[in-house]
Chain A
Amino acid sequence: MTALLDLLPQLMKGLQTTLLVTAFAAPLALVMALASGLARLSPIKLLQWLAVIYVELFRGTSLLVQLFYFFYVMPLFGLSLDPVTTGVLVLALNTGAYGSEVVRAGIGSVPKSQREACIALNMSPAMALRRVIFPQAFVTMLPPFGNLLIELLKATSLLSLITIFDLAFAGNTLFQTTGRTLEIYGLVLMIYFATAMVLTLGMRWLEKRMGAGRDLEFRP
């Protein structure tokens, strides 16, 4: 038991990096998802195309290769970033590309009749989107966003391959020095799981809070 506790400080140090990268990448991914998702619905053709290229490029290639590309190839073009910045950036761009589809689907899920009500109230399309369509769409985006957030958390483990000392890296290091496969990977697994649970609960709470008017009882 004490031996198990000896492993914890190292793993916690790794977890810190994992959480840090997730915390920075998630909001950035959200911004990318919203910007590109809305751009795809824009009447401006150029914006649509830029969004399509971005989404397909990042969905259509492997995250690991994207990491290697940004870390090893970009410096050849003069863009040299430290590993953590690279990790945050690539994870955000990758997750944002998937999130873009969530945004597009969410906006599309709001019934056409809501848009028509906005027209009957003489709102401009931009105002209708901002005040009526998006707030309703956002609630439906939350569950898939929750999925992506957990995907993002787990994908940070790939950062160990570009020299970042995250939770997975810490586990590997401990394994190589102690050889205690069972305890180490068991612990690493449990820590990932516990972290994911916390994120899931957080998203549930947010869904509840944002769902005003949706899950109320009928009281005529």
Chain B
Amino acid sequence: MLPANIPPSPALRLRGVSKAFGSLTILDKLDLDVAPGERISIIGRSGSGKTTLLRVLMTLEKLDAGSIEVFGRYLGQRPEGGRLVPATPEETRAVRGDIGMVFQQFNLFPHRTAIENVIEAPIHVKKMGSKEARDMGMALLCTVGLADKADHYPRQLSGGQQQRVAIARALAMQPRIILFDEVTSALDPERVDEVLSVIQGLAQESTITMLIVTHEMRFARDVATRTIFMEEGLIVEDDAPAVIFGKPNKARTQSFLQSVLGRGL
């Protein structure tokens, strides 16, 4: 018989993750475990630390303290003599490759067309052949419903279309974890659904691990397998979406949901 249930290494393991800007604490000794394939929606007020949590995972912000493991490998750090020391840029990049991110403001490259945005990193970072990359890029643009816009520059696309290109671009690097940082907050209201349905489709058709920071409460409930409510750099409540949105256990979660939802979803 095979050894009984050795747990697979978690997609993410955060221990004591802390971040402050000056005297303002943004992340306060955060612990979090994420299993592969989980889809976690992260909700909370502005300034609660949700976006910063994603940014430290993407190595866009340095940790003040604590550690992050990605599929069992330390991110940005390396154990040495019983403690963690800063990793080299190459070591960091080796681990960071498991993570992709989609930004609130899309951050597409304005001097490149949609398809060029998507295949830039596969060709130059992953050294994929340009024919292969193009085929994969077109397939991804097809998935997000933009095959006909492949040769358009970002300026020529609506916000919703740009964000869908950005999702395709992140997926092109085949990350095992993808971070969505308020990806609909910069969009016109009528453009929100086209982006959310792309993410919904991705959730149904892949086992990619997702961390989704969002202010769209219905989406946060429907897309996720787990929901986290954050306040003042702490995880206040961490439970199934049905519990958080149905009958939250913490008064602070209740009061937040009441303030954003009013009478309901």
Contact = CB atoms under 8 A, between A and B. Distances in A.
Interface of A: 113-114, 116-117, 119-125, 127, 131-132, 135-136, 139, 212-214, 216-220
A220 B190 CA distance: 14
B173 A121 contact: yes
Contacts of A113: 103, 105, 107
Interface in B145-168: 152-158, 161
Contact of A216 (B96, B156, B173): B156
A120 B153 CA distance: 20
Contacts of A120: 58, 60, 99-101, 103, 107, 170
The B contact surface, by secondary structure, is loop
Contacts of B59: 119
- Chain B interface category by residue count: 20 to 34
A122 B153 contact: no
Given A213-B153, A216-B156, A220-B158, A117 B125 contact: no
Nearest to A210: B111
A116 B107 contact: yes
Contacts of A136: 109-111
A134 B202 CA distance: 34
B89 interface: yes
B190 to A, nearest CB: 12
A125 B60 CA distance: 13
A117 B124 contact: no
Contact of A116 (B60, B121, B170): B60
B109 A214 contact: no
B114 to A, nearest CB: 10
Given A122-B93, A122-B96, A117 B107 contact: yes
Given A132-B109, A214-B110, A219 B120 contact: no
Contacts of A216: 153, 155-156
A117 B93 contact: no
A136 B110 CA distance: 8
B120 A217 contact: no
Given A113-B107, A216-B153, A218-B156, 10 more contacts: A113-B105, A117-B103, A119-B58, A120-B99, A120-B170, A125-B89, A212-B153, A213-B112, A217-B156, A220-B158
